[in-house]
Amino acid sequence: MPLNPDAVGFVSEPSEARWTSRDSLLYALGVGAGVTDPTGFELEFTTENSDGITQRALPTMPVVLGGGGPGPMSAIGTFDWAMLVHGEQGITLHQPVPVEGTARIVGKVAAMYDKGKAAVVVLESEAREPGGDLLWTTTMSAFIRGEGGWGGDRGPSGPRNEAPDRAPDHVVSYATRPDQALLYRLNGDRNPLHSDPTFAARAGFPKPILHGLCTYGFTGRALLHAVCGSDPARFKAIEGRFSHPVMPGDVLDVKVWVDGAEAIFQTCVGDNVVIDSGRLTFA
């Protein structure tokens, strides 16, 4: 059957996420921590036994810490996964991400919008420690080509988090690796769009593309170092819209405009904006 608009409001059964120090290290390497950082090797994120350094987790890591199980996507109906692209992603951190731990994850279908030739599905989740304290909340939207047209609400539109008409306060450039997607997929996203040339061709791409959330992680690192003094405790919330595919090996330019305790950002590859409508809230 096609997408089911009646799934809006569906809440998943709680699931458990477990992660270790090794998982935190692998995520950091998957989003380029180490050799792509011009200031050093980011040893607090990439090692657990360096003298005088305490391991820390990158603040965008919740995107790979799902609880497993069917989750809210199981309720939205059926579709061709080759037609799905990640639309937007937001994270709100209620405390720094632990290097290792356990969380109880509950997700829900927050909205479903009819864009005519496509559908947008909005999912929300929250993660709590075993004692009940809130760790983080996330929001993501999935843009699914060919699944609109049922006459539903088109949803919000128009620009937001627009970049100021001035030069950015910071520009951080990171080169991704040609095999970046093959490394990042070890964090759990095994979608063949990022590894299988045949599957990528079905989706209309000349070769496998980089995970949007990998680009998001590179961007989060740039914001962490440029705006938050490399301190994850100062990194409070991030949101952005994926606006153009990235190929492994591309150079990412993260442009940042700071205004008080917020920063507007864009991530670009050359003249193409690949993450737009970006906003960071920090302490």
The string of DSSP letters for the chain reads: --B-GGGTT-BPPPEEEEE-HHHHHHHHHHTTTTTT-TT---HHHH-SS-TT------TTGGGG----SSTGGGGSB---GGGEEEEEEEEEESSPPPSSEEEEEEEEEEEEEE-SSEEEEEEEEEEE-TTS-EEEEEEEEEEEET---S-------S--SPPPSS--SEEEEEEPPTTHHHHHGGGS---GGGT-HHHHHHTT-SSPPPPHHHHHHHHHHHHHHHHSTT-GGGEEEEEEEE-S---TTPEEEEEEEEETTEEEEEEEETTEEEEEEEEEEE-
Residue 94 known to be catalytic: no
Catalytic residue among 37, 189, 253, 276: 189
Catalytic residue among 194, 225, 253, 276: 194
Residue 37 known to be catalytic: no
Q: Which residues are catalytic?
A: 189, 194
